[in-house]
Amino acid sequence: MAIRDILIWPNPILATKAEPVVTIDEDLKRVALDMVETMYAARGIGLAANQIGITKRLVVIDLNSEEDEEHDPALGPHIFINPVITAREGSVLWEEGCLSVPGEVGDVERSANITLCYNDLNGDEITVDASELMAVCIQHELDHLNGVVFPERMHDRSRAREIRLAMKSFKSS
């Protein structure tokens, strides 16, 4: 596995709509495992393939905190291929951050409960219900696949502009 560079918003690849995954081959599995490793190295809880420059519909999520010795498999790591939200209910305001928007957070309105369909690495089709942080994180990552980054969803437009300006002066180390 390898740690990949994470693109910083507003990189144009982050505004690109990702293409469906057609074949789940060794290359795709390697990318997925690299994404998990990259997410852990950056201390994030989710990563979309766009964020490492690959415009395919592939997302990884792990809500386990790094201090936990035993990972709860319900919290991750999850690898979602061609994820689609098939049902939504309620709404929730959540303070979000993003590995592509380092050091910044903002409130975003999301659906409170969702149903997600996706393929796993075996190509099996899976349907799960999610709520709270898992639902928010899935919606955040699926936005990436559609070329949307969280400041673009913020109701506070002046704060979103401040974040965009802060990113212009951000230099990746």
Give catalytic residue positions. Answer: 141
H helices of the chain, where? 26-41, 132-145, 157-168
With contacts defined by CB under 5 A, name the span among 74-82, 93-101, 102-110, 122-130 that binds Zn ion. Answer: 93-101
The correct pick among 98, 135, 163, 167 for binding Zn ion (CB under 5 A) is 98
Element (H, E) at 82: strand 78-89
What is the rounded CA–CA span in Å between residue 1 and residue 80? Answer: 18
What is the rounded CA–CA span in Å between residue 89 and residue 163? Answer: 29
- Chain-centre distance for alpha carbon 45: 8
Q: Which is nearer to Zn ion, 31 or 52 (CB)?
A: 52
Could you tell me which residues come within 8 angstroms of residue 51 by beta carbon, excluding any fewer than 6 positions away?
6, 7, 14, 99, 100, 144
With contacts defined by CB under 5 A, name the span among 62-70, 71-79, 90-98, 103-111 that binds Zn ion. Answer: 90-98
With contacts defined by CB under 5 A, name the span among 25-33, 65-73, 96-104, 161-169 that binds Zn ion. Answer: 96-104
**Least distance to Zn ion from the beta carbon of 98, Å?**
3
Q: Which is nearer to Zn ion, 21 or 101 (CB)?
A: 101
Q: Which is nearer to Zn ion, 24 or 148 (CB)?
A: 148
